[in-house]
Each structure stands twice: as structure tokens, then as C-alpha cells.
Structure 1
Amino acid sequence: MDLQKAMMVSASGLHSQSVRMRIISENLANQDSVSVAPGVDPYRRKVATFQSELDDVMGVELVSPGKTAFDQSDFSRKYDPGHPAADEDGYIFKSNVNGLVEMMDMRQAQRSYQSNLNALEGSRKMATMTLDLLR
């Protein structure tokens, strides 16, 4: 694999992980959301998906962000009869975002991003060294 292809693969990984981190950040920002009215769902956790795509020109397989999926797990309930969104039993629905899970996902995305960045930097250094040898 030549250096340009290696850089393209790393760059596609960087882009995909940055999209994943944005989705995780949105989840964390909305983890304390509750329903705004009886029968209305609160914020539903989003999950990043990835897909593989072939770059025909370069002949290399890249990763790209896929469609954002929604976590279909149940919402948690909290007893708060004075809340305007409480149902007839006095419960409100809270978001299905678990902050601990999101932080673990964020850490994994950060490590994947850093790995792609290190691979890109290594490819760049090899290209620079090759040019220096040809001078």
C-alpha cells in the first residue's frame, strides 16, 4: 500500500471518529432530558454507525459514517407528580442516555481517533523521509 492510500484510510477514520464524538457529545448534553408533556418521549440516545466504501479511483476501502441509529432501550421513569409532563400515575419519562456508557464510548472514540492520527503522522514522516532521500 502506498503512502497516499495509507493517509486516505487514516483520514477517513479521523472523520468517522469525529462524527462519533459529536454524537456522543449530543447524548451527554441531553442525558438529563425529560418528557415535555404527558405521552411525549424525551431525548432518545443516538448511536453512530459506520459503513465501508470502496474508493474506485485509489483502489482502497475507506470507512465512513453511516446513518445515525436510535437506541431503542426503554426510558427510565421518575416519580414527580408536580411536573407538568407527569402522567396520571405521577411519573415522568427520562432520557435513556447512561452517562457512564457515553463516557466509555467517548474514550474509545478518542483512542481510535488518536490511533488514526498517529498512523497519518507516520505516513507523513515516511513520505518526507522518502523525498529527502531522493534529493
Structure 2
Amino acid sequence: MPTREVFWDGDKNKVIVSTLKDLMAELRKATEEAVSIQIQVDFVLSIDDRAFLLTVGEGNRSHVMFARGTPKKGNQRFDYVLDGIEEEPFHVFLYGGSCSEVAFNRTASYEAAVDALKEFFANGDRPGSLSWETPS
């Protein structure tokens, strides 16, 4: 079984998760902390040399990315979600007191992002439940 590691708020909160229940408990903790201090945080699940990132905190949209490759070797390739819906040109996220603008179509509903996180946990590959900007 591959190692599934979760981290959020930088590397301050890092844990190995074995079950979907463990994963969802960590996601809940990350979300509660982000909401309590009114910011967004990156929640990352990595499996071997692949990672799935979604932002959690306030709001109903998440910035979503899928990465393959080893970051330490500098050969990581990123795929960005492509929702296809563009209500606004940008979605603003508050990261630790600074605003970051992300193209709206590179976000997904929070519910869709969580469903894709569960899919990645189960199969270890880029979730097929979302559309992606870069072909696999």
C-alpha cells in the first residue's frame, strides 16, 4: 500500500493517513483552523510522487491542482482544474493576510474538490471527476 501523507499550513501539520476517515478528520481540522482565523490554507494529499492540492477555509470555491514528479528534483508537472465556469475573471483567496487572485475557472466548488480528493485517495491518480487544463 502506498504511503498517503497529508500536510496543511505549510509543513506544520503533517501526518500519514491510512483510511478515508483519517483523511476527512484532517481535512475537517484544517478547515476549522482556517475558518477560525479567516484565511485559506493549502491542504495537500501526497501519494508517492503525486499530490492533490485544494484550498480550504472560508468560501465555497477551492483552488485545485494535481502534481506529479518529485518537487526536490525540480521536475514536478502541474495540472490545474478547468471548471469551465467563469462567473468572475478572478477568485480572491486570503492567504495569511495577503490576497491572491486565481483565475476563476481554475477553481471548483468546494464539494467537487472534496469529492476529487476522495477519488485521489482511493486510486492515487489524477481525479477524473474534474476537468483539467493539461491533458494527462
Q: TM-score, normalised by structure 1?
A: 0.30
Q: Higher helix share goes to which structure?
A: 1
Higher RCO structure (Cα 8 Å, ≥6 apart):
1
TM norm structure 2: 0.30
| Larger radius of gyration between Structure 1 and Structure 2 | 1
